[in-house]
A = this chain, B = another copy of it.
Amino acid sequence: MSDFSNVKVVLVNTSHPGNIGASARAMKNMGLRNLTLVQPSEFPSGVAVGRAVSATDIIEAASVVDTLQAAVADCGLVIGASARSRRIPWPMLSPDQCASKVLAEASHNRVALVFGREDAGLNNEELQLCHFHVQIPTDEVYSSLNLGAAVMVICYELHKAGLRDIGTVNPEEDELWDQEKATGEQVEHFYEHLQRVLVAIDFHDPDNPRQLMQRMRRLFSRIRIDVMEMNILRGILTNIEYHIKDTGQDSDKRRADE
């Protein structure tokens, strides 16, 4: 049996506590146990406990945090549920592709499965914190799934993949990798550093961003950077800053910001 102790389900800004309970029940049915809630509207809640039925242990042990960034800071793989295609397409998985990826990664790294608000899903900023998006295929007439139902489908596919024990058939990229993947927190520091440098070399104007940082995030999240690569990229950025230090106003501004 697969061990999903490295996998957490993250629910962002859930409005209805019943959906938290239903998600906990679905998780326990499928062998998952770690639930993190980002700013739930109503929690703790008797309604959540009632709908959880025999999964109240998951509700009681749930972490509550303020931001999605905090929820995924310790995760090497973050997958967000997305109902619709975005202006900037993101690497998109079907639920069974998602399950294979999670299963391969969870043997050695923490993984987050992120679900957004009942009415509006995840916003663009939250979606860009994800390495991949997962989309549950639906009939085009009515694509809006109940939150608990979406959690059920994703967890069900994960459980199924665990039963199939796919790891022995097609080893995933990560199993053969020589370096640990960077955590969400390390990657966020990299994006901050990158943005600082792009401003300093006059490539990026935060007042007229033209989706530049989204495109950079989309690019680097496809790569799943490992720790050594992260160190190399940070080193490159530092050397660039060092070399442009004496070129005037921009760098003064930068120093003031630091």
Contacts and interface: CB of A to CB of B under 8 A. Distances in A.
Interface in A81-100: 85, 88-89, 91-92, 94, 96-97
A86 B1 CA distance: 23
B215 A219 contact: no
A222 B223 CA distance: 6
Contact of A22 (B139, B146, B163, B215): B146
A101 to B, nearest CB: 13
Interface residues of A, number: 73
Contacts of A256: none
A80 to B, nearest CB: 16
B176 A29 contact: no
Given A176-B89, A239-B202, A232 B215 contact: yes
B201 A228 contact: no
A51 B215 CA distance: 38
Given A30-B139, A224-B222, A215 B239 contact: no
A178 B246 contact: no
A89 B216 CA distance: 25
A178 B136 CA distance: 21
A223 B232 contact: no
Interface of A: 1, 22, 25-26, 28-31, 51, 53-55, 85, 88-89, 91-92, 94, 96-97, 136-139, 141-146, 148-149, 152-153, 156, 159-160, 163, 169-171, 173, 176-178, 198, 200-203, 212, 215-216, 219-220, 222-225, 228-229, 232, 235-236, 239-240, 242-244, 246-247, 250-251
